[in-house]
Amino acid sequence: MKFSCSTTDLLSGLQLVSRAIGTEQVLPILQNILISVEGKRCTLSATNLELSIVTSFEVLIENEGSITVPAKAILNFIQYNQDSEIVVETSEGTQLKLHSKHAKAVIAGEAASGFPTITSIQKDTTLTLPISPLLQALNLVTFACARTTSRPVISGVFVRMEKGKIIMVGTDSYRLSEFSMSAPGMTSEVACIIPAKFLEELKAVIALHRGKDADDKDGKDKKKPSTETVDIHLGSQQIEVHLAHTKLVSRLIDGKFPDYAQVVPKEKNTTAVLNIKDLLGAVKRMHYFAKEQSNNITFSFTKSAVHLTTKQTQIGRDESTINCEVEGIENKIAVSSTYLIDFLSRLSSDSVVVELSDKLHPAVFRIPGDDAYLHLIMPLRMTEE
C-alpha cells in the first residue's frame, strides 16, 4: 500500500473516525484505525462494536492495500506535522511509514484481516432529512437523556415516525424534551430508540463537515458532495447515517420506552411568558446558593411578575423578581436550577412560555408560537415560608 495526500484531509478523517474509539476496549485492535486505499480514495474506519464511523477522501494511489494502526500514534504524528503533503506506505507487512518534506515516522500496525468488518445494514426504512432542523432537534432533545446505562431505554432518544412527521423524545425521568419535525418523504410508521451517544456523535460529525464546507467559500471544489441533507437508514436492530462521504452505524436500543404522555399535565392553571436573557441570568446567579440545597429554586407567580427564591443555607440565600406576562391564577413551583440552565442555554428564541398546573406536577416550557417543541421539568419539594 502506498499513497500520497493532503495532510489536512488525512488529519480531518482521522479525527472524525477516532470518535468511535472508546477508552476501554476488550479487543486491543479496536484502539486502531483501519486504513484502506482502493481506486482513487482512502477509507478510514473505526469502531467500538457499538458505534462505527467510516469516512473517505481522494488521494493519489501508487499501490492499493490496507492496514490498521494505533489511533493515538498516527494522530500524534499527523496533527503536529506542518507539511501540506504526506506519503503513507506499508513496509514489511504490518509497519506503516509516513514521510513528508520535513518529518518521517514508522508505526507498528496490525493486519487488516483482524479488524472487525463494518457492513452496511439491512435497510427497512430510508429517509432524507435537511441538516438544520435535524441539528435543532438533536440540540433540544439529546441533553435530556439519562447518562447512565442502568435503564438503557432512557439512555436513548425515542423516535416515532409517522406520515410526514418525526417525533423525538429524550428523558432521564426528571426532565423530558419532545421535538417534532416534518419529514415529507416518510410514509410508513416506525418507532425505535436510538442511543443518545450516537446522536451526540452525529452532531459532532455534522459540525466537522459544515466546517469543511465553510472553508470552500468560493465553491471551487465542485466534486465535494453537499452536506445540506443526511440519509438515514433503519434496520430492525441498527441505524446507519450517511453524510457526504461519511457513514455512522450504531445498534438500536432494545426495549419499551416509557409512556411519557401520561406525565405531561393535561391542564394549565398559570401561563407566563419570560424573557430568556433575564431568566437565565437570574438562575445562573442564584445557582450559587441553590446548589447547596439540591439545586432548588422556587418560582412564585403573581399577576405581573415571577419571584425566584433559593432556600436559606449556611452561605446565604438569593432572590430575584422578573416582570412578565402572566395569565391564570397565582402559583408556585420549585425546580432544579441545573436543569433550567441546561435547557435555557440551548434556546435561540428571545422568550419562553412557562405553563403550570400546580406545585406537584411538572413545569412545562414551550417556545412562543412554536408547537414543535415541549420541555418539562419535574417539581422539587418546596419549603413553605
Encode burial over 366-375: b for 16+ CB neighbours within 10 A, e otherwise: bbeeeebbbb
All cell numbers assigned to 20: 468511535
Architecture per CATH, domain 125-216+224-251, reads as Roll (3.10)
Q: Which listed CATH number (3.40.50.720, 3.30.56.10, 3.20.20.70, 3.10.150.10) goes with 264-377?
A: 3.10.150.10
Q: Are 12 and 54 in contact (CB under 8 A)?
A: no
Whether 2-114 and 264-377 share one fold: the answer is yes
More confident residue, 86 or 381: 86
Q: Assess whether pLDDT exceeds 70 at residue 213.
A: no
Measure CA of the first residue to CA of the last residue in the chain; give whole Å: 75
Residues 89-118 pLDDT 10s: 999 889 999 999 999 999 999 999 999 999
Architecture per CATH, domain 2-114, reads as Roll (3.10)
All cell numbers assigned to 259: 409512556
- pLDDT interval class at 219 (50, 70, 90): very low
Q: Assess whether pLDDT exceeds 50 at residue 261.
A: yes
Residues 115-126 pLDDT 10s: 999 988 888 888
Q: What is the mean predicted confidence (pLDDT) over 1-16?
A: 96
Q: Supply the pTM of this predicted model.
A: 0.89
Q: Express as a percent the part of the chain with pLDDT over 90.
A: 79
Q: Where are the domains of the chain?
A: 2-114, 125-216+224-251, 264-377
Q: Which of 281, 200, 287 is nearest to 20 (CA)?
A: 200
The predicted structure's pLDDT at residue 120 = 81
Q: Assess whether pLDDT exceeds 50 at residue 221.
A: no
Mean pLDDT of the chain: 91
Residues 6+ apart with CB under 8 A from 224: 212, 213, 216, 244
